[in-house]
Amino acid sequence: MPKLEDLSHTISILRLKELPKNAVQVPIEEAYRDYVGPGQYLHLKVGIAQTGAPWRKYQYRSDEAAKLAQELGKFTIMGVKTSPWKPKKEPILKEGGMPLKEMYIMPTSPESYVRIILAKTYHFLAEGHPVEFCVRIQKYPKTSNPQDHSLFHWIHSYFPHLRPDFIMKAMPEGTYYQIKPVSDGEHVQWVMKVAKEKKPLYYDIKLQHQKGKVLAQIKQGKQASIPKKLRMSEDVVKDAIPDDVNKAGQRNLGDEFPWDVREGEKPRVQKDKRGRGRGRGRW
């Protein structure tokens, strides 16, 4: 995500219920500092159509894409919609914490949908729920492999309403990152929570530790729910077999790689229910 001070271009901001001629051109850093706050967020005036997205019509690093992004970058400052109904009692925080809520938007999501998602996020945080917020390029990525981050870098430069820092600042006071933004090039997601406990809880180190364990298991071919081709790929097999076994040639893998590299996993034993006295009359 590019730093605010490194962004030189401006965006058009129009206060709610003001005439279009009163729109002002504001640097992105100033918009973050002076216009966005708890309950007040940056809202794209006209949503981006799937087919009209600058990164789809042009190569996103081109001048044409930048020009179109500037034309689409017209924003208003919106307040979070609140419900007139209020509970009789304040919500009670459970001992184990409130359940996690997940929110998803895309750069091409309709502006009415984004408004609802931000309002729900605000109220969930105010009630004590941690919220995992995800911005994704498309609902169903074409590949599960990590992608280049440059597209999100470009989107965050011209459409700051999708930036994690802008969204965070519009949330209730005391909101902090439980997990800082991470990205695989297709998604940017983070976990936020309002600091109601005595000591804020951070899970960045735990996330990296768990990620390392999963990558190690994938490398060894032991991770569940991964494609068979990945488990049986040549690189995984070579990494999973000790060097002395490789050199000695005790296991001949051949071209098909028939050996299951999930070491220590016993083959399934088909139990004969009839032999154990169960299932009589059904065989």
Domains and CATH numbers, the chain: 8-79+97-202 (3.30.110.10), 203-268 (no CATH)
10-14 sheet: strands from edge to edge: 24-27, 10-14, 74-79, 40-44
Model pLDDT, residue 48? 78
Cα gap 163→153, rounded to integer Å: 10
Comparing C-alpha atoms, which of 55, 10, 57 is closest to residue 29? Answer: 10
10-residue stretch averages of pLDDT, the chain, 283 residues long: 79 70 81 88 80 67 77 82 56 63 89 90 89 84 62 84 90 88 86 76 71 74 64 47 41 36 41 47 44
Comparing C-alpha atoms, which of 140, 225, 218 is closest to residue 186? Answer: 140
Threshold 0.85, pTM exceeds: no
Comparing C-alpha atoms, which of 71, 82, 64, 91 is closest to residue 23? Answer: 71
Structural tokens at position 90: 């304040």
Model pLDDT, residue 131? 92
Model pLDDT, residue 269? 42
Structural tokens at position 94: 């459970």
Q: What phi-psi label fits residue 277: left (phi over 0), alpha (psi between -120 and 50 degrees) or beta?
A: left
Model pLDDT, residue 217? 74
Angle at alpha carbon of residue 30, lines to 27 and 9, rounded to 5°: 15
